[in-house]
Amino acid sequence: MRHVLYGILRSEADTAGRVSALAAGPPLRLICNGDLGAAVSLMPDAAAGPPAPKVHAQIVQSLHDVCAVLPMRHGISFDSEAEVSGILREHGGLFRRTLDELQGCGEMGVRAICRATTVSPPCTSAAQAALSPARAYLAARQSRYAAQDAACKEASEFAERIERAFQGLFARRKTESLFFPDHPILSLHFLVRRNETELFRDAFRRLEQRAPEKLLLTGPWPPYNFVSAENLVPSHTF
């Protein structure tokens, strides 16, 4: 019987009852080893695969709503309770340190669609037409890379402005960038103390009023971007 893993948490006195009472998804149970617990569901038919990604996300969110949790990626599973307990025992120190870092925090996300960056071509159209095919190819590549460099610089500067808008309201921050030709997109992830979530939202509204870029605020979510499940738990998948 497969044990599908959703998250690692502290096995405090009332945690097992709160986990088993969660309404989202299949019934959960807590496998404990000392002060750590693993929230799992049992899959009698391994061939059927794990719950759908949306169901998995709902379960992790429900866990996050009641306690600090290290969210696991979709599809991690084990053959037995002994294997799950062994993971808790083997990686207990890392689990505890990470849970301490995440205690009382959630993840807020800010997505920004940046303004397009225009870079002058290295030569005029007429001059470019006079170039050999090889030189024209190199000139086009030079122009493209110059545009990418300019977009990276602009995105980095804007990320710094966003970070300053939330100064003092987050413990950690991660940034991801997607560089489309006409609209670079920034995704910033902030680890925010739960009792400061509304202050973070207020700061976002002030930023939104003065920033020319299109902004979107999401969260609070479980801290997916501040936990690397692959580093925390070996890859046991369906």
What is the distance between the alpha carbons of residues 86 and 163, in angstroms, rounded to a whole number? 40
Are residues 97 and 25 both part of a single domain? yes
Are residues 114 and 220 both part of a single domain? yes
Q: Which domain holds residue 196?
A: 106-119+150-224
Could you report the per-residue pLDDT of 66-119, keeping only the tens digit for each? 889 999 988 899 999 999 999 999 999 999 999 999 999 999 999 988 765 554
Are residues 6 and 98 both part of a single domain? yes
Number of domains the chain is built from: 2
What is the distance between the alpha carbons of residues 9 and 84, in angstroms, rounded to a whole number? 13
The domain that holds 195 is classified in CATH as 3.30.70.260
Q: Report if residue 57 sits inside a domain.
A: yes
What is the distance between the alpha carbons of residues 217 and 113, in angstroms, rounded to a whole number? 12
Are residues 92 and 156 both part of a single domain? no
Instruction: State the greatest distance between any 2 C-alpha atoms of the chain, in Å, as a whole number.
Output: 79
* 64 touches 221 (CB < 8 A): yes
Q: CB under 8 Å to 88, separation ≥6 — which residues?
A: 8, 31, 32, 33, 34, 36, 37, 38, 95
Are residues 113 and 216 both part of a single domain? yes
Could you report the per-residue pLDDT of 131-176, keeping only the tens digit for each? 667 777 776 677 666 666 666 667 677 888 899 999 999 999 998 8
Are residues 94 and 201 both part of a single domain? no
